[in-house]
Every structure is written in structure tokens, then in C-alpha cells.
Amino acid sequence: MTDIVDLAKDGIDTVETGLVDLTGALRGKRLPVRAFQDGGLAGDVGFCSVLFAWDYAAAVLPDDTYTWSGGYPDILVQPDMTSMRPLAWRPGTVLVLCDAVDELGAPVEVAPRRILRRACDAVRAAGFETKIGLEIEFYLIDAATRRPSSSRNPVYSLHDGSELEPALAEIRAALLAGGVEVEACGPEYGAGQVEITLRYDEPMRAADTMVFFRYAVKQIAAKHGLLATFMAKPFADLSGSGLHVHQSLWREGANAFWGAGRDGLGPVAEQYLAGLLRYAPDCMAVAVPTPNGYRRMVPHSFAPTTVSWGSDNRCAAVRALHRGPSGTRLELRTAAADANPYLVVATALMAGLTGITDGLVPPPEVKEDAYLSASPPLPPDLPQALSLLTASTFARSVLGVKACELLAQVGERETELFRNQVTDWERTRYLEAV
């Protein structure tokens, strides 16, 4: 464990203790180093348990475990010092992500890190190690107008979108200072849209890194007069933002996905792929948790609409990448950028592992237009996704019954609020015309 005295010697005066709720939002408290040493490091810092029973606006859910009559007692947080990272934009401060426990020291089973930890344990028990690479898209827009500063599609351009480079350069530097290896950074398919590719890691570290990444991007963007958003579809006329999960299993130092099967996919990869596809519909409410997220999942959008896979096919739900014995992997492309990374990775790992243990066989590869293929459709909206989630034995086994219930409550509330809105488009279209 990191010696707290070393933090003081390094000029650290503040420790941010962070906990991620079920929506994927980072919550936390800032502690002086002395307070962290005296109580925080020992797990004496409490958070109100309502943190796991509220929605995106922190409005309380009508749950039967976390209740008004129960008084919402504290949960305690145990810092995971392996997650500690300096915040380059806030000198003298480090962020430490935490695990949630109850007053008896037992893990809080609905906590996202706990859910992912259970999945990681299952994969290790099966004899595998995992490499996860999370790839996310987001928008950097003018904070005042809430629109991109340009109207041109900047994809792959070194000129268009370069006005964002001062902010992006500081973001990359902050990530490097936090021990995050950036593999690439560039404009994506919409004006103001950016993708930063991070190097793969073990699953918990990869999810922790994504939480740190989102935090850094939002904080540094604000310094530059920009608003960073990971909303799945912020603009009707521009590309949506996704969270792509690159994954491979390893055994005794060798890539278990590599083989002489489908253009380099071995039997383990084929079974894992079959599991990803089999349970993708059940887990869509995890991968795409808001009504807005389904707006990006339309034909010819580079977001998948079918339960399909293809070799290096960016239109399928799973993209198989044949990159030799070191780089062969599967990329799950269903998740939106606003998804909870811990839950997305946990469900993907367990879907793939179930495919292996059950000996599942994947459907034929889609070699034509995946949007026009005969592959079964993915749920087209949140209500249908929630129906599959709540009926899924698989989802309950991975997430836990209580987490499924809470996620369903959040989704149902978002759906109701979404349906009750009257939009500017409707007023423009109908106010005078009817």
C-alpha cells in the first residue's frame, strides 16, 4: 500500500475519494492528506447509501432496500490505492477510487466495481487472464452555444478540428501524468467529435482508467471554455458517440483467441463470440442505458442494429480483428459513450465466458451490409431493452437481482420523462401547421 507520508513529500495535500454509482457518474469527497491518513485510508469515510438508488438527476428511486423508512444509512468506502492517479489540472491532488462496504465490512453487491470484480474472479477461475481496451467517442463543444465551433465533418483531418488541440494536448498530458498510455487521438465523424484510444489493460484497471479519463476530459475542457459531453446522441444531425470494448483472453502467456479457425479465430474465440452475441440483447439496457442512446442506433450510422459479427466490420455488433497471435481480439460495439464501463465490461466478460462454458456456436459471419442482413435485430428502444434485462436469468446472475431492479427503475423513469417532453422540433413542425 502507498505510504501516505510519500504523498505529502510529493506535495500532495488533497485526496479525492471516488465512488461510481449505477449510472456511471463519479461521486466523491475531497479529504486533506491528514484526514485521509487518519480515517480515509482505514475505510472510515461514509457516503449516503441513496447513492445506489437514484437516477441521473440524483432523484431518489422508490426502492424496497434503500428506503426512507430505513433512513438511508451510510455505506463506507475502502480506497483501492492501486487506482491512485495525480490530477495534473489540480496540482497537489490525487484521485483514489474506492470499493463500497457496509457497516460490517461486507461488500455492497450493487456497487459497479464489485460487479466487475465478481466477473474478473470468474474468468480467472476458468483459467484465463483478460485484456480489455476501451475506446470512446465524445464531443467538445462551445460552452456558451452548446454547439460545435465548426460545421465540417473533421474525420481523420489534421486541419479540421485543430482548434480543439490546445484542450486535447492538455488532456493527453494529464492522462500521461496519470499513468494512462494514449495510443491515438483525433477527430471523429462529427464536427467537434473526438476519439482518444487508450492502451489495453486488465479489466478493472481499464474501467478505472475510463472513469478517470471522463473526469479529466470534462475538467480540462471547462478550463478552455468548452463543454465535454459523453451523451450518446447530442445532435440529431451529427454522429452519435459509442464505447467500444476490445477484449481477448490469455492463458499461460498466449492469446487464447488466436487459432486456425475463422481467419485466425480459434475455438475459444468462436465460443466467446457466440456468448457475446447470445447475450447482447439481454444486456442492451446496460450498454445503452438512456432513451437518447437508441437514437444513434440507426442504419448506416456505424452503430450496430443487428445481432451480427463480421471480420473487421464496423457495422456489426461484434467486430473480429485478426491481428496475429498478439493482437487478435473481439470488439463489442453495442455500448453508448454514456454507459457505465464497469457494468459493460462485466456483462461482456461473463457473456463470453458463458459462451465458452456452454460450448456455444456463433452464427455465420455477416459478409454483406450488416444493416440489411437477416441477423436478428437488437432492441430498438429502451423499453424493449428493459423487458429483456428484467426477464434475463443471465443478467441477474452477472449484475445481481438488486442491481437489475435498480437499473430497471432508472431506465423506466428516464423513459417516462423522455415520453413526457415536447421538443423544439415538434413546435417547429406543428405549432403553426396544424
pLDDT along the chain (434 residues), means of 10: 61 94 96 86 87 94 88 92 95 96 93 98 98 95 88 68 87 95 82 90 97 97 96 94 97 92 83 98 98 95 95 95 92 98 98 98 94 95 98 98 97 96 93 92
Q: What is the pTM of this model?
A: 0.95
pLDDT at 150: 77
pLDDT at 63: 87
pLDDT at 80: 95
Which listed CATH number (3.30.450.40, 3.40.50.300, 3.40.50.10190, 3.30.590.10) goes with 118-401? 3.30.590.10
Burial 401-421 (b: 16+ CB within 10 A, else e): ebbbbbbbbbbbbbbeeeeee
* Spatial separation of the C-alpha atoms in residues 288 and 337, rounded to whole Å: 8
CA 296 vs. chain centroid, Å, equals 16
> How does pLDDT run across 194-240, given as a tens digit for each residue?
988 899 999 999 999 999 999 999 999 999 999 999 999 999 989 99
> How does pLDDT run across 3-54, given as a tens digit for each residue?
555 677 778 999 999 999 999 999 999 999 988 988 778 778 899 999 999 9
- Find all residues with CB under 8 Å of 269, minimum gap 6, and list them: 248, 256, 257, 258, 259, 261, 320, 328, 330
Q: Where in the sequence of the chain do the CATH 3.10.20.70 domains occur? A: 4-104
**CATH no. of 4-104:** 3.10.20.70
> How does pLDDT run across 241-269, given as a tens digit for each residue?
999 999 999 999 999 999 865 568 999 99
- 199 within 8 A of 183, measured Cβ to Cβ: yes
